[in-house]
A and B are shown apart, each in its own frame.
Chain A
């Protein structure tokens, strides 16, 4: 394999395991097939990021906003997971892989360009039923800590995007059209 053709995508955990989603947010049974089809067609190997929400609060967790996840304990948990991820990315970088990250836009944890917000949430979880959280530009807590881990080692955060499956107006076809452009793009020369 020519070294220039080596590509790997680190994808948000739930993009290949919808069982990890908080209740009502799974859009398909398991793997988000349109994404995996595109990764394979563009020659990307697939690596899966851990889901810090799943390992922190489990599969029957409540809906939560970014503000609720933004605690020292959760950030510590995310940093712990990030160390192992960056260890693995470093090996791919050493082997001349073009590394990309694909997050989950709209997520309080895994959002890359878009995250959730609802500063008023807390206590009895009735607010989620009466309309859910809002979406705002920015990274989720997990992606922020992952980025911090890269930067603490003097490594550039890889080229990254997100699929907005946690946004209220999500459109799979439009999202995949955008993904085609992202995946086809090449790493900028160092």
Chain B
């Protein structure tokens, strides 16, 4: 029997850059995201974080395949799963193409993608903006 516990029943597949923007791997990226990790922690999101997008597809493909499988199982059991990508980074910084392929192979739709901008041109540089982007993606999951 499934018994309730403290889990929030919502998870986000999140770009490594949004969790580790200060990494040495990202020295060439000029923009910095808003407080994404703070929002995820404070708002009770579970993270599914692939490795850094600068690594090769030999790393990204198996990670995307495993995470897509997990996501499909969550969605089957009525959890909310969304993707949080970065505008301006290749494949959103989260191997969106590999995730599309992985979900297609599983016969499942890709979860909604929320996007964070790094250039300050919209509200996603703020906590409220990140929350709004995630809320919009979550609504799309609920309506699917």
Contacts and interface: CB of A to CB of B under 8 A. Distances in A.
Asked whether A and B interact, the reply is: yes
A58 B5 CA distance: 17
A80 B6 CA distance: 31
Given A1-B24, A19-B9, A25-B5, A48 B59 contact: no
A40 B19 CA distance: 10
Interface in B31-82: 37, 40-41, 43-49, 51, 55, 58-59, 62-63, 66-67, 69-70, 73-74, 77, 79
A46 interface: yes
Contacts, number: 112
B2 A36 contact: no
Contact of A19 (B11, B27, B66): B11
Interface residues of A, number: 39
Interface residues of B, number: 41
A2 to B, nearest CB: 10
Given A23-B2, A24-B3, A26-B5, A84 B49 contact: no
A46 B59 contact: no
A18 B6 contact: yes
Nearest to A81: B66
Contacts of A45: 19-20, 22-23
A42 B47 CA distance: 20
B47 A24 contact: no
Contacts of A28: 6, 44
A58 B44 contact: no
Interface of B: 2-3, 5-11, 16, 19-20, 22-25, 27, 37, 40-41, 43-49, 51, 55, 58-59, 62-63, 66-67, 69-70, 73-74, 77, 79
Given A1-B27, A30-B41, A31-B45, 19 more contacts: A17-B46, A17-B48, A19-B11, A20-B46, A26-B6, A28-B6, A29-B6, A29-B44, A30-B40, A36-B41, A45-B19, A46-B19, A47-B49, A48-B47, A55-B66, A88-B51, A88-B55, A95-B24, A95-B25
